[in-house]
Amino acid sequence: MKFRRIVVAIDGTPTSIAALEATGELASAWGAELLGLFVEDTNLLRMASLPFAREVGSHSGTHRSINPGQFEREFRSQSERARNTLWFIAERYRLTASFSVARGSVKRELIKALGEADMLSMGKGGRSVAATLGLGTTARAIAQEAGGIVLQFSHVASVSGPPAVVYDGSPVADKALAAAAELAHTLDTRLSVLLPVELDIDRAKLEASAQDALKETRPVLAFRPIQTRCTADIARNVRSSGANVAVIPTGRPMLPTDAIETLLGQFFGPVMLVGQDNTV
């Protein structure tokens, strides 16, 4: 699997900057083009225009009216900082890069951008204190609805090995396996293949299927059975495998949405979600 065009969502949050840093390094190794995207959230603009909209001072606790023009100015300021950060990363890694600003629903614009690229990279955290420490609203929505390949980051501004991929022999799992193998090759490390023990499939057949799918690249594979009965099992098993990046096929019965959200919230390293083709 080759990554040639990577979209990075930049919104000024610490996790989005970490995503940009780490993705710049990967793009350099892959010879990929980096496309920075800043989305002006029309939902915020609509809320600001409501007559009863108020903001509360973080220190004073006082309420005051929201001026829609204030959001417009803040968008311009944030997008300019995002553009400058992208150029800094592009110059450091000698990347071919571009930057664009879109206006609309953040989720919709990111899914649209992913449809025109090989991968979307973004931060897991949001703007609130709680979301910065956990899983932000946009990251959760993209995990639920986006197809294609989405790489989500916490504060770790690098991708280091070894990667681990959950594999059940399905076509989307084969796609996740190929993406994980590309990461393992780039990082010059082994690939941990995690086999759900609840599947009514012979483990030896699954191992043979994984080896056959990667017979051309021939990475060093380490197979490991994992429990997927409850959401906490998956995050715990991924961590115990020694993985620093998790690659997860989406849309599988063994990995429902709540299980993937738990993994995103509890696994500190980058998580690559691999689904079918994108739909807007």
Q: How far apart are CA 120 and CA 6, in angstroms?
A: 6
- Its CATH architecture, for the domain 163-274, is 3-Layer(aba) Sandwich (3.40)
For the full predicted model, state whether its pTM sits above 0.75. yes
Q: How far apart are CA 9 and CA 168, in angstroms?
A: 30
Helix (H, G, I), strand (E, B) or coil at 185: helix
Burial class (CB in 10 A: 0-12, 13-18, 19+), 43: exposed
Q: How far apart are CA 55 and CA 181, in angstroms?
A: 48
Assess whether the region 5-45+72-153 and the region 163-274 belong to the same CATH fold: yes
What's the pLDDT score for residue 47? 63
pLDDT digits (tens, 9 = 90+) for 55-93: 544 444 455 556 667 767 888 888 899 999 999 999 999
Task: Kindly tell me the sign of the dihedral angle through the C-alpha atoms of 43, 45, 51, 56.
Answer: positive
CATH number of 5-45+72-153: 3.40.50.620
Q: How far apart are CA 222 and CA 74, in angstroms?
A: 48
Domains of the chain, by residue range, sit at 5-45+72-153, 163-274
* Element holding 224 (H helix, E strand): strand 221-226
Q: Which amino acid is at 145?
A: E
pLDDT digits (tens, 9 = 90+) for 117-163: 999 999 987 554 444 445 788 888 888 887 899 999 988 777 887 89
